[in-house]
């Protein structure tokens, strides 16, 4: 996806690319002078699956548990996803990640 927008009288170019199948995405901003800035973001569920060493979440997360993560693992994911969340509070970000874990059938210890 590509956007071109004007900032302070100069045109900026912003491009978003998906990386593979469900791995994440990258954002590339190109300034008028040609310099580029790129940031990569992984999706929360992909980071949880990688930390828990699972392929998929539970088919029925209310009754099925596929893995267990502790608070330190959640903290590492939350720090990585902090720019995407609408909070600056680390504990709140951990709770957001914990909610995603529960929806995937991943048990959370230490909260």
User: How far does CA 66 lie from the centroid of its chain?
Assistant: 20
Q: How confident is the model at residue 23 (pLDDT cuts 50, 70, 90)?
A: low
Distance CA 52, CA 65 (A): 12
Dihedral sign of CA atoms 42, 45, 48, 52 in order: negative
Q: Are 104 and 50 in the same domain?
A: yes
Q: Are 47 and 29 in the same domain?
A: no
So what's the pLDDT on residue 81?
87
So what's the pLDDT on residue 111?
82
Q: How confident is the model at residue 22 (pLDDT cuts 50, 70, 90)?
A: low
Q: Which residues share a beta bridge with 24?
A: 19, 42
pLDDT higher than threshold 80 for residue 79: yes
Per-residue pLDDT tens digits for 42-63: 788 888 999 999 999 999 999 9
Q: Which residues of 23-56 are buried (b: 16+ CB within 10 A; e: fewer)?
A: eeeeeeebeeeeeeeeeeebebbebbbebbeeee
Q: Residue 94's closest CA among 80, 104, 103, 106?
A: 80
Number of domains in the chain: 2
Q: Are 56 and 74 in the same domain?
A: yes
Q: Are 62 and 90 in the same domain?
A: yes
- CATH number of the domain residue 91 falls in: 1.10.10.250
Q: Supply the range of the domain harboring residue 6.
A: 2-40
């Amino acid at each position: 996806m590509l956007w071109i927008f004007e900032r302070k009288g100069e045109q900026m170019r912003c491009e978003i690319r998906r990386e593979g199948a469900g791995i994440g995405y990258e954002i590339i901003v190109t300034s008028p002078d040609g310099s580029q800035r790129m940031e990569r973001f992984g999706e929360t569920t992909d980071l949880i699956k990688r930390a828990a060493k699972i392929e998929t979440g539970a088919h029925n997360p209310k009754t099925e548990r596929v893995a267990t993560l502790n608070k330190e693992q959640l903290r590492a994911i939350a720090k990585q996803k902090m720019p995407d969340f609408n909070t600056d509070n680390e504990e709140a970000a951990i709770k957001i990640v914990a909610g995603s874990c529960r929806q995937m059938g991943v048990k959370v210890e230490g909260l």
